Amino acid sequence: MTRVLIFVQRGQSQKLESTKLDTIHPIEKESYQIIESRLDLSIYDDGQRAVVARIIHATGDISFGDGIAFSPNAITEALSVLQTMPHVIADCQMVRSGITKYNTECFLDKVKASSNGFPTRSAKAIEYGVNLYGDGCVIVIGNAPTALFKTLDLIDKGFKPGLVLGFPVGFVGASESKDKLMECNNIPYITNSGERGGSPVAAACFNALLKLGDKK
């Protein structure tokens, strides 16, 4: 299994060089300074640190400093993919609402619920988008574990996403789906361990990558 799972130890903080604190709103600047004072992010490289800090800032949850997982070279590969202006498929409208500087799509309105509840609409919507756009599209999941499981099923069948940001949330399937994502060794991904996740996390991760791309 190939994965990079980083658990941060509390201690002396390191400056978030990639955040450029002198160019942001004073409130946001103070927020990042508080993050720096409470959490040591030096274990991450600059790109990873920018993503983790953005997630913490968006959620107000310092504990997201522990257990963020990056595939090898995830940041470099993600930025290269985003330069190609790929189609971005979100599993829910809340993720789309959190991403304001890039056009994203959600296909929940294109599919109908199954009579017995399975496959879920979220899973069907991901499959709809993948069938529409094919290889190279970016998958951003911040709600449904079934959407991530469907993405992984499609990968097993030959789908090659440009990037997967997997942050489903909940007590049924969220942790398991993310564990399975972390077993992938042929796609770039960013995710986290456990039951936590959610649309703000997924959107923050994507937005951090966009900001990093602007600085290249």
Known catalytic membership, residue 57: yes
Neighbouring residues of 117: CB distance < 8 A, sequence distance ≥ 6? none
The CATH number that applies at residue 199 is 3.40.50.10230
Of 22, 43, 67, the domain-final residue: 67
Kind of pairing, strands 66-70 and 189-192?
Answer: antiparallel
Same domain for 111 and 207, yes or no, is: yes
Distance CA 52, CA 47 (A): 9
Same domain for 114 and 160, yes or no, is: yes
Same domain for 18 and 118, yes or no, is: no
Same domain for 13 and 111, yes or no, is: no
pLDDT at residue 34, rounded to an integer:
87
Tell me how far CA of residue 139 lies from CA of 13, 103, 111, 187, in angstroms: 32, 13, 17, 11
Same domain for 106 and 210, yes or no, is: yes
Of 12, 36, 67, the domain-final residue: 67
Same domain for 78 and 34, yes or no, is: no
Same domain for 45 and 78, yes or no, is: no
pLDDT at residue 75, rounded to an integer:
98
Mind listing the pLDDT tens digit for each residue in 63-90? 999 889 999 999 999 999 999 999 999 9
pLDDT at residue 3, rounded to an integer:
40
Q: Rounded to 10 degrees, what is the CA torsion of 103, 106, 110, 112? A: -170
Closest C-alpha among 31, 29, 7, 9 to residue 20: 29
Distance CA 80, CA 162 (A): 9
Same domain for 121 and 164, yes or no, is: yes
Query: What 8-state DSSP symbol labels residue 107?
Result: -
Same domain for 102 and 205, yes or no, is: yes
CB of 140 closer than 8 Å to CB of 197: no
Of 47, 67, 87, the domain-final residue: 67
pLDDT at residue 21, rounded to an integer:
37
Q: Does the predicted TM-score (pTM) go above 0.85?
A: yes
Q: Which of 49, 54, 57, 124 is catalytic?
A: 57
Distance CA 46, CA 51 (A): 9
How many distinct structural domains can be found in the chain?
A: 2
Q: Which domain holds residue 109?
A: 74-214
Same domain for 83 and 123, yes or no, is: yes
Residues of the chain with pLDDT under 70: 1-23, 216
Distance CA 187, CA 136 (A): 10
Same domain for 11 and 99, yes or no, is: no
3-state secondary structure of 179: helix
Same domain for 114 and 55, yes or no, is: no
pLDDT at residue 100, rounded to an integer:
93
